């Protein structure tokens, strides 16, 4: 099955995506590869508003019918918004992981960390090597 | 084998143990026959003061246990060495635990109960840790009316954790509103209360519950299940996490248990709750059945991030409580609670006529209350033993300033004759002590 990787996003090795708006607010979620591997997602534990997160440290956790997994923050910063729809409809992560299923918005604290993320092409070849 | 692991002598394996902690010798006595062992244990058992008439509470109560309760619980299907959970072969156990959870929810007015924890103290500790995980805060405000036994347990669990405790001394035996509300702040994870409190006082905590919620603080209340036969359920007071000691629900008093910790929460907190949860579902043919559910919280899946390292419950004790609650039913529990209250009130009335005894007034009580004596309560209690009574719980054991105080518990088992006999004996003991002073 073809895995959906969006050109306009940045990626982590743990299969999170992030898009950074001009105002320095980053929106983070999990990739199509991640949601397919997890299977039907039954619960999402969202980060606390106003909380600080560190790059590659825990951001959220997801329970699926197969497993419970942590989601890591692609960038450091302060949580300014969480996707509360996921509390009632966790399957948005399965249905629409890049749009309706976003997890949290982070006011990023440093631009330098962006270089540690993968471009869409880099993530595609990273996925090829996994499979 | 010693040389393979790189030591020369067996004592090298124990060299990390400080000499004063090490056993003086490993010379154990010779083995005994079964008969000798039974005789020895019987001798030890005789030292128990089993014939005293109990007026001691302090969180553990002398309630009557109908014969059907142990008869049902000791059936081979329930009485197993380890609780079986596989839904394919354990529907009976799972259904019994599901009934237990339903009963606890009905009793407390809460949305969800787990399948039990070890005892009232550990349940309270788990509730506190749950509040810390949920809120991301690390400060705990605890009412001094919470059982000192439970408070001690919590402190020993958390000695090496970074948790800030504020214990608020009760005022005239009741929760000190002003000081509690001053103590609540944006770093406070939970406010811990008990109803009735350790002195026996009943308190509708609704007002401070509301204040706590306004500060984003979760409210934990430890309760006495028999009292819930007549008190406002914690769910109605607005409590977020209810815990309690379930010994009074059909379990015999015994030193150290096994007892029963129960915990029930609001729905929004269910995934933060420790312990097992049994849920109702349907099998592949659509038939009603029961399974362990929400297991992703538990340590066999979540590892170090699990809600608790306790996956075990006290299933057999929970089943015993279920049989007890089912036997009494809603009406039976109400009648039982009324009987406890009536007998305690009768005793209070009788005590008021005894010189040197003051029944502490001020708040309503259930089946336990505090009295002030003219002399040291420990002295009175030890003399009352000669008259066949375990007369009360000396508060000086946990509250150094309360030398002359004790709590007295009166369950449905206490007869009018026993209460009158107690009053008679107490008058004699107090007269003796007055003379000896």
Domain-wise residue ranges, chain A: 10-123
pLDDT, position B14: 85
Q: What is the pLDDT of residues B120-155, one digit of tens each?
A: 999 999 999 999 999 989 999 999 999 999 999 999
Closest Cβ–Cβ partner in A48, A51, A68 for B296:
A68
Whether residue A48 and residue B302 make contact (CB cut-off 8 A), yes or no, is no
pLDDT, position B437: 59
Q: Is A61 on the interface with B (CB under 8 A)?
A: yes
Domain-wise residue ranges, chain B: 53-63+331-436, 68-324
d(CA B417, CA B271): 51
Domain B68-324 of CATH type 3.40.50.2300: no
- Spell out which chain B residues touch chain A, with contact meaning CB-CB distance below 8 angstroms: 136, 271, 296-297, 301-302, 305
Whether residue B305 and residue A51 make contact (CB cut-off 8 A), yes or no, is no
pLDDT tens, N- to C-terminus, chain B (437 residues): 889 999 999 888 888 888 888 888 888 889 999 999 999 999 999 998 788 999 999 999 999 999 999 999 999 989 987 778 888 889 999 999 999 999 999 999 999 999 999 999 999 999 999 999 999 899 999 999 999 999 999 999 999 999 999 999 988 888 999 999 999 999 999 999 999 999 999 999 999 999 999 999 999 999 999 999 999 999 999 999 999 999 999 999 988 789 999 999 999 999 899 999 999 999 999 999 999 988 877 777 777 777 777 766 789 999 999 999 999 999 999 999 999 999 999 999 999 999 999 998 888 999 999 999 999 999 999 999 999 999 999 999 999 999 999 999 999 999 999 999 999 999 999 999 987 75
pLDDT tens, N- to C-terminus, chain A (131 residues): 689 999 999 999 999 999 999 998 999 999 999 999 999 999 999 998 989 999 999 999 999 887 788 999 999 999 999 999 999 999 999 999 999 999 999 999 988 999 999 999 999 999 999 86
CB pairs under 8 A between A and B: 14
- Two structure tokens written together for A30: 């999990």
Closest Cβ–Cβ partner in B136, B296, B302 for A48:
B136
pLDDT, position A58: 93
Whether residue A67 and residue B302 make contact (CB cut-off 8 A), yes or no, is no
- What residues have CB less than 8 Å from B357, skipping those under 6 apart? B351, B371, B372, B373, B374, B426, B430
Checking ipTM against 0.95, whether it exceeds it is no
Q: Is A21 on the interface with B (CB under 8 A)?
A: no
d(CA A20, CA A122): 18
- Two structure tokens written together for B108: 């407390």
What are φ and ψ of residue A64, in 5° steps?
-125, 180
Axis crossing angle, helix B148-158 with helix B120-135, rounded to the nearest 10: 50
Instruction: Tell which of A51, A66, A68, A71 to mutate to test the B interface (max B CBs under 10 Å).
Output: A68
Q: Is A39 on the interface with B (CB under 8 A)?
A: no
State which CATH number among 3.40.630.30, 3.40.50.150, 3.90.1150.10, 3.30.70.1290 fits the domain covering B53-63+331-436.
3.90.1150.10
d(CA B266, CA B254): 32
Per CB-CB distance under 8 Å, the chain A contacts of B297 are 68
The position carrying tokens 């393979």 is B4
Q: What is the 3-state secondary structure (H, E, C) of chain A?
A: CCCCCCCCCEECCCCEEEEECCCCEEEEEECHHHHHHHCCEEEEECCCCCCEECCCCEEEEEEECCCEEEEECCCCEEEEEECCHHHHCCCHHHHCCCCCCCCEEEEECCCHHHHHCECHHHHHHHHHHHC
Q: Is A84 on the interface with B (CB under 8 A)?
A: no
CA atoms within 13 A on the CB side of A18: 30
Instruction: Tell which of A63, A66, A72, A86 to mutate to test the B interface (max B CBs under 10 Å).
Output: A63
Closest Cβ–Cβ partner in A43, A48, A51 for B271:
A43
In B, minimum Cα distance to A50 occurs at B136
Q: Is A52 on the interface with B (CB under 8 A)?
A: no
Whether residue A67 and residue B301 make contact (CB cut-off 8 A), yes or no, is yes
Instruction: Tell which of B216, B293, B296 to mutate to test the A interface (max A CBs under 10 Å).
Output: B296
State which CATH number among 2.130.10.10, 2.40.50.100, 2.60.40.60, 1.10.600.10 fits the domain covering A10-123.
2.40.50.100
Q: Is A49 on the interface with B (CB under 8 A)?
A: no
Whether residue B302 and residue A68 make contact (CB cut-off 8 A), yes or no, is yes
pLDDT, position B301: 75
| Shortest Cα distance, chain A CAs vs residue B302, angstroms | 7
- What residues have CB less than 8 Å from A62, skipping those under 6 apart? A30, A38, A41, A43, A44, A45, A68, A69, A70, A71, A90, A93
Hey, which residues 96-125 in chain A have their CB within 8 Å of chain B? none
């Amino acid at each position: 099955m073809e895995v959906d990787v969006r050109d306009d996003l940045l990626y982590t090795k743990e299969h999170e995506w992030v898009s950074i708006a001009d105002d320095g607010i980053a929106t983070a979620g999990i990739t199509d590869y991640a949601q397919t591997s997890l299977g039907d997602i039954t619960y999402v534990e969202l980060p606390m508003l106003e909380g600080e997160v560190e790059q590659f440290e825990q951001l959220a956790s997801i329970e699926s019918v197969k497993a419970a997994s942590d989601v890591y923050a692609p960038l450091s910063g302060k949580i300014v918004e969480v996707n509360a729809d996921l509390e009632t409809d966790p399957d948005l992560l399965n249905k629409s992981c890049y749009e309706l299923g976003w997890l949290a918005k982070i006011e990023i604290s440093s631009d330098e960390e962006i270089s540690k993320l993968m471009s869409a092409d880099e993530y595609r070849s990273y996925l090829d090597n996994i499979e | 084998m010693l040389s393979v692991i790189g030591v020369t002598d067996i004592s090298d394996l124990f060299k990390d143990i400080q000499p004063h902690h090490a056993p003086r010798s490993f010379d154990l006595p010779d083995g005994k026959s079964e008969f000798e062992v039974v005789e020895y244990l019987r001798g030890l058992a005789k030292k128990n003061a089993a014939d005293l008439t109990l007026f001691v509470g302090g969180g553990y109560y002398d309630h009557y246990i109908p014969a059907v309760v142990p008869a049902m619980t000791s059936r081979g299907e329930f009485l197993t060495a380890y609780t079986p959970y596989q839904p394919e072969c354990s529907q009976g156990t799972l259904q019994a635990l599901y009934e237990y959870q339903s009963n606890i929810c009905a009793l407390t007015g809460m949305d969800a109960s787990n399948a039990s924890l070890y005892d009232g103290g550990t349940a309270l500790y788990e509730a506190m840790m749950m509040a810390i995980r949920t809120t991301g805060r690390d400060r705990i405000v605890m009412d001094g009316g919470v059982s000192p036994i439970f408070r001690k347990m919590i402190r020993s669990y958390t000695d090496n954790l970074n948790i800030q405790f504020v214990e608020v001394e009760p005022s005239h035996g009741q929760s000190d509103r002003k000081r509690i509300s001053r103590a609540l702040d944006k770093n406070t994870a939970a406010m811990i209360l008990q109803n009735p409190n350790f002195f026996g006082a009943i308190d509708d905590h609704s007002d401070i519950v509301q204040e706590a919620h306004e500060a984003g603080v979760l409210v934990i209340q430890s309760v006495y299940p028999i009292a819930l036969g007549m008190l406002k359920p914690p769910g109605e007071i607005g409590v977020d996490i209810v815990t309690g000691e379930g010994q009074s629900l059909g379990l015999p008093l015994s030193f150290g248990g096994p007892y029963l910790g129960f915990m029930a929460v609001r729905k929004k907190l269910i995934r933060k709750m420790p312990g097992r949860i049994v849920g109702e579902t349907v099998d592949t043919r659509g038939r009603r059945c029961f399974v362990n559910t929400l297991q992703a919280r538990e340590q066999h899946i979540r590892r170090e991030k699990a809600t608790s390292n306790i996956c075990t419950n006290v299933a057999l004790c929970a089943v015993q409580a279920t049989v007890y609650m089912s036997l009494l039913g809603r009406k039976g529990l109400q009648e039982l609670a009324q009987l406890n209250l009536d007998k305690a009130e009768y005793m209070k009335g009788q005590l008021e006529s005894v010189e040197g005894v003051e029944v502490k007034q001020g708040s309503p009580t259930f089946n336990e209350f505090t009295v002030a004596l003219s002399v040291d309560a420990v002295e009175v209690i030890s003399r009352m033993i000669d008259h066949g009574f375990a007369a009360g719980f000396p508060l000086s054991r946990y509250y150094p300033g309360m030398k002359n105080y004790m709590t007295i518990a009166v369950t449905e088992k206490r007869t009018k004759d026993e209460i009158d006999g107690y009053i008679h004996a107490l008058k004699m003991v107090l007269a003796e002590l007055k003379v000896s002073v």
